[in-house]
Amino acid sequence: MRLTPRAHEIQRVVDVLEDPTFESPDQMAKALIKEVADIVQMRDLIVVVHTWEGGHKGLNFGPFGSTAEAEAFAKKMSFGGTGRLVPLTSSGIMLANHDGKAGWPGYCYQPDCGHAPWMHAIEGSSRGKCHDTTCPCEKFVKDDPTKKKTTRKKAAPKGMAAGINEL
Ligand SMILES: [Zn+2]
Ligand SMILES: [Zn+2]
């Protein structure tokens, strides 16, 4: 299965790799496999549903990370019959919508919350208190607070730079 890693997924793996509390490589490997499985479960994937020429059902193959990958597989295997690409809805996303997912983009970054935005009360143009009665969250946190905001240096206007150089 081919996946294009996303920035927040890379960060989660880096967090495991940089965690100094593991006592053995085995422990770290276990945590890493769990993390990656969790990442994959948060993806919508594709399966190939195969039907033989006579019309009876073949096997279902997958999952694949993209339709291109699924098509390439079907082409390579050339089973005959017909293949249909069927999207698999991520069970991870469904669970995250239900239970919340702390530290995941699209969900509340309040560490005790992690609930979906629509679970928070609408307050003007933003979202306020979380509707989950057991949740202490008072305001939806949209952006990852651990992520550094990229501060771009403003280039000095050409005229001004030229003026400084003349001094
Ligand atoms: Zn909440
Ligand atoms: Zn919240």
* pLDDT at position 153: 57
Identify the bridge partners of residue 87 per DSSP, sorted by sequence position.
46
Instruction: Tell me: pLDDT of 4 over 90.
Output: yes
Taking the centre of ligand 1 as the mean of its atom positions, its distance from the CA of residue 160, in whole angstroms, is: 50
Residues lying with their CB under 5 A of ligand 2, a single-atom ion:
108, 110, 113, 130, 137, 140
Look at residue 159 and tell me whether its pLDDT is greater than 90: no
- CB-based contacts of 113-122 (< 8 A; 24+ apart in sequence): 113/137, 113/140, 113/141, 117/142
Structure-block tokens of residue 116: 């979906």
Contacts of residue 88, Cβ cutoff 8 Å, sequence gap at least 6: 44, 45, 46, 47, 62, 63
Would you kindly state where each structural domain of the chain is located, as residue ranges?
A: 7-41, 45-88, 92-130
Structure confidence by residue, pLDDT tens digits, 73-94: 999 998 899 999 999 999 999 9
Q: Which residues in 74-104 are b (16+ Cβ under 10 Å) and which e?
A: beeeeeeeebeeeeeebebbeebbeebbeeb
**CA 98–ligand 1 middle distance (angstroms):** 11
> What percentage of the chain exceeds 70 in pLDDT?
88
128 CA to centre of ligand 1 in angstroms: 10
Show the CA angle centred on residue 62, arms to residues 60 and 65, nearest 5°.
145
* pLDDT band per the 50, 70, 90 thresholds, residue 163: very low
**pLDDT at position 131, please?**
95
Q: What confidence score (pLDDT) does residue 147 get?
A: 77
Residue 38 and residue 94: Cα distance in Å, rounded? 13
Question: Is residue 165 pLDDT above 70, yes or no?
Answer: no
pLDDT value at 134 more than 80: yes
**Does residue 164 register a pLDDT over 50?**
no
**Distance of CA 97 from the midpoint of ligand 2 (Å):** 12
Q: Is residue 149 scored above 80 in pLDDT?
A: no
Average pLDDT over every residue of 97-117: 95
Q: State residue 146's pLDDT score.
A: 81
d(CA 111, ligand 2 centre) in Å: 8
